[in-house]
Structure formats: C-alpha cells, structure tokens
C-alpha cells in the first residue's frame, strides 16, 4: 500500500513522518474522531484549512482508487441558504473513493478500504467522474466550509472482511498467547515478555543460548512489552508496561536504547548474522530482523540459537534472549494494543449515540483522550438519508449531553443532514469499521508492500540508452508484460517479502533498489544476463533481480543460505575468476576455465543452486536482497536525494530523466564499487536507463517534487510522459 495525506506540502528536515502527516491534517477538536463534541459517533475528522493564499491548496487522493460516487458542489447561493446553511454556511460537494491494494500475501494480498472527502467547494477536478481511475496525489477538489468555518470532513473506513485483512482481528486487544501474523509483517517489531522473564548482566558469547554461567540482574514481576525500530542504520529498543491506574494505557520504561548492542546496528545486520549464526546466516538475519524466522525454506542451526538484546526493565537494563518461545513476537501489522490500538465493537444499536461500554470505561478512567485516535470503531455510516430517523430519533428524547429536541427543530436538522447525505448503495445498509484518518495514513506508510498495479507504475514507458558514438542516445519504448505466467506477476510476492526481510522498506531505499533491479531484468522480463554463453565469466554470469555474478558472490550467497559444498571446488572457481579478471579483455574468454566441464568435481546440487537464482522466483528475489545487504546499499540510499533534471537529445526530441548523487552511489555500490566516488562515471552501464526507473519510483513512492528546466523543484510528475497509467 502506498498512501499519503490529502494535503502535500514540503516536509521540514526536523519533521518525523508522523509529525508531518499531522501537520497536514489540523483537526477541529469539536469534530474529531471517533466522537463529536456531543458524544455521538463521528466517522471521520474535520480538517481545518485557511486557504489564505491566492492559489488555493487542493485536496488530493490519499491512494490509488476508483470514484464510487460524487456530488458537484452547489453554488454559493445554495451554500449560504437553508438547508445547507443550518449552523453556518456549509458546502455539499463530496467524493467517495474505493481503494484496492495489498499489504501482504494470502488474505492480505487484496484489501479494500474507502476514503470520503466531504464539504468540497467551487468545483471538482474534471477527472472526477463515476468509475474513473484516480491516482495517489491526483487533485480531487477544494476544501470548503462547514458551519461557517473553512474545513472539510475526511473519513477512512472498511467492511468486516477487510478489517480482518487490515488488522488481523476484531477483538479489542491483541492475542498475546501466540506469535503475530507472517502473511503481512512490517514496521516496528514487538515482543511480549511474560512475568518471570530473566535479565542477565553480561553475555560473553552472544551466539550461545546457555544461561547456566550468567549473572541474573532482574526477573520481571509483570509483563513487559518491547518494541524494536530500525531507522537509518540505527536500532532503537523501547520498553512499555501497563500503567498501574489503567486497563488500557501503557507507560514507557526508562529511556530508549539506540544501537547499544552494536554501532549502527541496522547496517551491520549482515555481518552480525555472519558472526552469530555462521551455519544459518539467512535464518539468523531473519532472527535479527523480525525476532523470529518467518521463511519456510530457512531454518536456524542450532534450532535454539539466541537473539540476545539489551532491554530496559524498571530500574535498569539487562540482556534478554528474545528468541525463546515464551516471548511472543509481533509487528506493527498486528496493531499491538500496548501501542494504543484497540478495536471497539460493542455498540450494537443502530443509532448515532456512542453506547460502547468500552469507550465509556475509557472516559470514566480518564484514558479516552490519550488513545482515542487509535481506536478502530464499528458503527453505521452517517451519510445515508434513509436511515436518519433510525440513527437520530433519540434527539427527540435527548440524553445527558443534549436536551430533548422539539419536532420542528428535529425536522430542520433532518432536512439539513439529508441535503448532505448521498445514496451509499450497499455501503449504507450495514456496519463499517472507522479509522482516524491521520493514524491510518501514518500506520500504513510503514507497510511499503507494493501491489501489482503499484509495481507496474514504477516501470517507465520509455528508457534512455547510450547506443554508442554513432547512434548516441536512443529513446526506447518499454512494453509491459503481465498475466499469471509473467515475471512481473510471479515475482510480486517474493519481491515484497525480500524487501521486508532486507529492510528495503523506505520509499527512497525502494527507489534505489528497483531503479537497478527493474533495469537489470530488462523491465521485469528476464532473470538471466543476455548472451550469457559469450561472456568470459559464463556460466557464473548474472542471475536474479540484481544479477548476482561471478563465483565469489554465488558461493557467498550459498553460504548465507546455509548450503554446504566442497571448499576446494569454491576456492578453485574463485581463484580462476580472479585470474581471469586480471587478464586483458580479449584474452579472458579464450583462457577461461570457469565452465562446468572444466570442473568435473563440481557437485550437481551446486549447479542446481546456481540455476535457482534465475529459475526460482523466491531465490530470484532473495538473492537480490542478500546482495543489497552484503554491500550495504542502504547506507547510500539513506543519504539525502537531491534530484537533478537531465535532458538529452534522443529520438529526435529532448528527453528528460532524473538522477541524484545518492542514487548514483547506490547504483555504483552494487555494480561498480570502484567508481562510486567518480560521480556519474560513464563506466557504469545503463545508468541513464536506471535513472528512468528511479524517476518513476520517486513519483510513485514519495511526495518529492521534480526540478524544472531551471532546477526549481516545482513539478508534481516526471517529464517525458513516463508514468505507466491508463485511466
């Protein structure tokens, strides 16, 4: 899922993503979520907006979607008069979008949610027609007025089936008796430490689970909840415990611990896996990354290999083996209740009053305001005129917050509400789960899973290729190959799993990874280097998404996967490769002794493993993730991406592509590390074509603007019509 807020302004350098999103969505406290000022259910939030500029800021789609229904805003004369003007001038334009995307494999591989933008003014964008395809960041319309104030109503919701896909549960809290989901796993990793968890002083051997000689510094007397966050090379560990005076709130224990177990812990994961889990490095990498092994095709050796981490407890810190089965493992995909996520499904009547005993208890204990934005609540939509009496007839009797309403006043508010309602079709007859929009967006921006359609958009329509001195730069059309048997379709789930495993999880990391992988696989059409039999390093030529090449890299990968082979065979092949590398180019092929026929002692299973890098979809993707981590590519992808607009003459026209020093370094690291500091060296093959993918990825995955001909970052989309979109 790729998602963003409905307003997109520049993010300050000091802003976290969460801070930036909430800055984009200033909320009227009287019309917040999930209750309004009168204590009734409110399915969304009212986002305030001044529109003080001469060029109004436009509302944008939060994700790719389809227009379910819409209403063009009425003119000012209707907005300013009853029934729209009830408590003040109110605009009635709206757009309802349906979003189909993915957040994982299995049931999570196809999810649906809706976003509603209500109280829009002046005009809607001409692209808004029923059934129209709308892309993330596309303009929808303009924020209008609600009760005389500049604001619009913004709402995100889903049905019961998709609630289970999105969050994994409908119960209030998370089941901590078993590990969390693996079909979708993203964001922070969380650990439930039961009462009795032992903390130790020092671990002389971080690879050993043996505790018989260790000194105990603490044994927990209450459950503790540990969260692990990877970000820009660091790993932060924080501990929570249930607040003594609350059933729902959790306090932080001590200060966050940042990379205390290893400097730049995240960037060091590959080396740590190599050091701590030498017999099963791939499984060990998953243990370090997820707190458990989640892939079916890798296993830990030994099976009780530990994950020792420094963890805070009340009064100090100690070492805990987080890998033991008594400690349960989760991710943000499980919406842990100790981070504030609670599901509310105990209001079973059909009126708009909040009759939830769970919410009532929160209010009684004074906990409601602290976690209200992370409540996910089930109640009917409020935009169906046919159910107005069912939902609001209680106004005639009143309650503790609102006095009884006279019939005449009731008819007025009914007429006003009906003027804002619309025909919701099948959506109007049942209950729906409602999310606080800012929290929903913030949460799922940590997911990063690309649906098939989102991946497709990253493959550009054309590529720029340097065809040599005679032909110069050429502009080549790139066809799209899809269907069940296509590589793009087959690779989607393995690709996403690999990106999650190897922490290719930020938009800029993904842009750097795919900028190389898509070009190297000839636009997701092949997994093996072309013309391989004529290459001097055949048959150890490029295979996989990042074209794993030469015996050194292959055998390093085999070792990483826990595979055993005769040491003499690998050493002979690697020695031969190094010998050939030092020969002049015209002598390499003639003198090569790399072919399998020159190595009769090469086991058949090694040849099979090598071929899997091109023939097994899982290995195609995993080998690329391994190569990313081996180098490590993330270090360079995490640098600031200063986009540069480049124009070349190709195909009798001026064509535009985009590059950055950060992307260059990431490319060179996996292709030509000796030229990494020789910025934009022509020695790197196909860099311009890689940049064509990179530009698309920046547009599809981020909110960055593109430089114009004057190098001013003002354009929403890349030039040269590169986005692969069909309305």
Pairwise CA distance, residues 48 & 453, whole Å: 33
Q: What is the DSSP string of 430-497?
A: SEEEEE-HHHHHHHHTTT-PPPHHHHHHHS-SEEEEE-HHHH-EEEEE-----STTSHHHHHHHHHHH
Residues recorded for the chain: 727
518: pLDDT strictly greater than 80:
yes
What are 93-142's pLDDT values in tens digits? 999 999 999 999 988 889 999 999 999 998 899 999 999 999 999 999 99
What are 68-101's pLDDT values in tens digits? 999 999 999 999 999 999 999 999 999 999 999 9
**Contact residues for 204 (Cβ-Cβ < 8 A; gap 6+):** none
**Contact residues for 452 (Cβ-Cβ < 8 A; gap 6+):** 102, 482, 488, 489, 492
How does residue 52 score in pLDDT terms, banded at 50, 70 and 90?
low
Total-model pTM: 0.96
What are 150-185's pLDDT values in tens digits? 999 999 999 999 999 999 999 999 999 999 999 999
562 neighbors 280 (Cβ within 8 angstroms): yes
Instruction: Compute how many other C-beta atoms are within 10 angstroms of the C-beta atom of residue 681.
Output: 14
483: pLDDT strictly greater than 90:
no
Among 267, 268, 287, CA closest to 277:
287
State the distance between the two ends of the chain, measured CA to CA, in whole angstroms. Answer: 19
484 neighbors 610 (Cβ within 8 angstroms): no
Among 105, 100, 248, 116, CA closest to 172:
248
pLDDT, residue 107, reads 86
Mean pLDDT, residues 583-605 taken together: 93
Mean pLDDT, residues 222-239 taken together: 98
What are 3-43's pLDDT values in tens digits? 999 999 999 888 999 999 999 999 999 999 999 988 999 99
Mean pLDDT, residues 682-703 taken together: 95
Task: Count Cβ atoms within 10 A of the Cβ of residue 726 and give its class: 0-12 exposed, 13-18 middle, 19 or more buried.
Answer: exposed
**Contact residues for 381 (Cβ-Cβ < 8 A; gap 6+):** 43, 157, 424, 427, 428, 432
Q: What share of the chain is helix, strand, coil (3-state, %, to 5)?
A: 35, 20, 45
445 neighbors 430 (Cβ within 8 angstroms): no
Structure tokens, 3 = 């998602």
**Contact residues for 671 (Cβ-Cβ < 8 A; gap 6+):** 516, 684, 685
What are 522-549's pLDDT values in tens digits? 999 999 998 888 899 999 999 999 999 9
102 neighbors 108 (Cβ within 8 angstroms): yes
Pairwise CA distance, residues 613 & 627, whole Å: 12
pLDDT, residue 727, reads 58
**Contact residues for 8 (Cβ-Cβ < 8 A; gap 6+):** 24, 60, 137, 703
153 neighbors 90 (Cβ within 8 angstroms): no
């Amino acid at each position: 899922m790729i998602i963003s807020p409905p307003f997109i302004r520049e993010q300050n350098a000091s802003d976290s993503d969460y801070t930036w999103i909430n800055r984009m969505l200033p909320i009227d406290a009287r019309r917040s979520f999930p209750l309004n000022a009168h204590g009734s259910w409110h399915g969304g939030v009212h986002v305030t907006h001044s529109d003080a500029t001469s060029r109004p800021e436009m509302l944008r789609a939060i994700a790719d979607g389809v227009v379910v229904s819409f209403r063009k805003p009425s003119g000012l004369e209707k907005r300013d008069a009853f029934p729209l003007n009830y408590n003040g001038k109110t605009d009635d334009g709206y757009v309802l979008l349906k979003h189909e995307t993915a957040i994982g494999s299995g049931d999570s591989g196809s999810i649906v949610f809706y976003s509603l933008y209500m109280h829009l003014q002046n005009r809607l964008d001409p692209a808004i027609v029923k059934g129209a395809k709308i892309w993330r960041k596309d303009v929808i319309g303009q924020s209008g007025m609600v009760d005389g104030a500049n604001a619009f109503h913004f709402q995100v919701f889903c049905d019961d089936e998709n609630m289970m896909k999105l969050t994994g549960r409908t119960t209030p809290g998370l089941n901590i008796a078993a590990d969390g989901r693996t079909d979708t796993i993203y964001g922070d990793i969380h650990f439930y430490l039961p009462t009795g968890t032992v903390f130790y002083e020092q671990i002389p051997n971080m690879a050993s689970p043996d505790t018989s000689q260790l000194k105990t510094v603490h044994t927990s007397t209450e459950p503790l909840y540990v969260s692990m966050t990877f970000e820009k090379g660091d790993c932060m560990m924080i501990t929570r415990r249930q607040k003594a005076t609350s059933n729902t709130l959790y306090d932080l224990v001590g200060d966050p611990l940042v990379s205390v177990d290893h400097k730049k812990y995240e960037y060091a994961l590959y080396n740590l896996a190599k050091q701590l889990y030498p017999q099963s490095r791939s499984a060990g990498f998953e243990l370090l990354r997820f707190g458990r092994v989640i892939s079916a095709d890798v296993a830990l050796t030994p099976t009780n290999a530990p994950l020792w981490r420094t963890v805070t407890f009340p009064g100090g810190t100690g070492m805990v083996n987080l890998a033991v089965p008594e400690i349960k493992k989760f991710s943000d995909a499980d919406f842990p209740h100790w981070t504030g996520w609670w599901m509310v499904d105990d209001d079973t009547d059909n009126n708009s009053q909040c009759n939830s005993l769970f919410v009532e208890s929160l209010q009684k204990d004074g906990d409601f305001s602290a976690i209200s934005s992370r409540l996910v609540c089930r109640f009917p939509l409020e935009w169906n005129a046919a159910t107005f009496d069912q939902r609001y007839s209680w106004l005639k009797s009143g309650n503790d917050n609102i006095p009884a309403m006279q019939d005449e006043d009731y008819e007025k508010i009914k007429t006003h509400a009906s003027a804002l309602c619309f025909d919701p079709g099948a959506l109007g007859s049942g209950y729906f789960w409602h999310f606080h929009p800012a929290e929903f967006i913030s949460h799922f921006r940590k997911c990063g899973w690309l649906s098939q359609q989102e991946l497709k958009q990253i493959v550009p329509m054309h590529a720029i290729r340097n065809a040599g001195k005679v032909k110069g730069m050429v502009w080549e059309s790139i066809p799209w190959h899809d269907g069940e048997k296509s590589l793009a379709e087959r690779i989607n789930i393995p690709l996403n799993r690999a990106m999650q495993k190897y922490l290719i999880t930020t938009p800029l990391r993904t842009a750097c990874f795919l900028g190389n992988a898509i070009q190297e696989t000839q636009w997701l059409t092949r997994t093996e280097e072309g013309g391989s039999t004529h290459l001097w390093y055949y048959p150890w030529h490029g295979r996989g998404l990042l074209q794993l090449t030469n015996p050194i890299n292959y055998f390093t990968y085999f070792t990483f996967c826990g595979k055993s082979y005769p040491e003499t065979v690998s050493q002979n092949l690697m020695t031969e490769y190094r010998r050939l590398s030092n020969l002049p180019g015209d002598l390499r092929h003639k003198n090569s002794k790399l072919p399998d026929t020159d190595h009769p002692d090469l086991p058949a299973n090694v040849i099979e493993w090598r071929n899997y890098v091109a023939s097994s979809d899982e290995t195609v993707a995993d080998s690329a993730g391994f190569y990313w981590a081996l180098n490590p590519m993330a270090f360079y992808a995490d640098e600031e991406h200063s986009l540069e607009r480049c124009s070349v003459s190709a195909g009798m026209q001026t064509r535009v592509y985009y590059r950055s020093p950060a992307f260059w370094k990431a490319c060179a690291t996996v292709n030509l590390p000796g030229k990494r500091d020789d910025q934009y060296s022509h020695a790197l093959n196909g860099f311009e074509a890689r940049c064509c993918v990179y530009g698309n990825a920046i547009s599809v995955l981020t909110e960055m603007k593109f430089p114009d001909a004057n190098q001013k970052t003002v354009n929403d989309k890349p030039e040269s019509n590169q986005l692969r979109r069909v309305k």
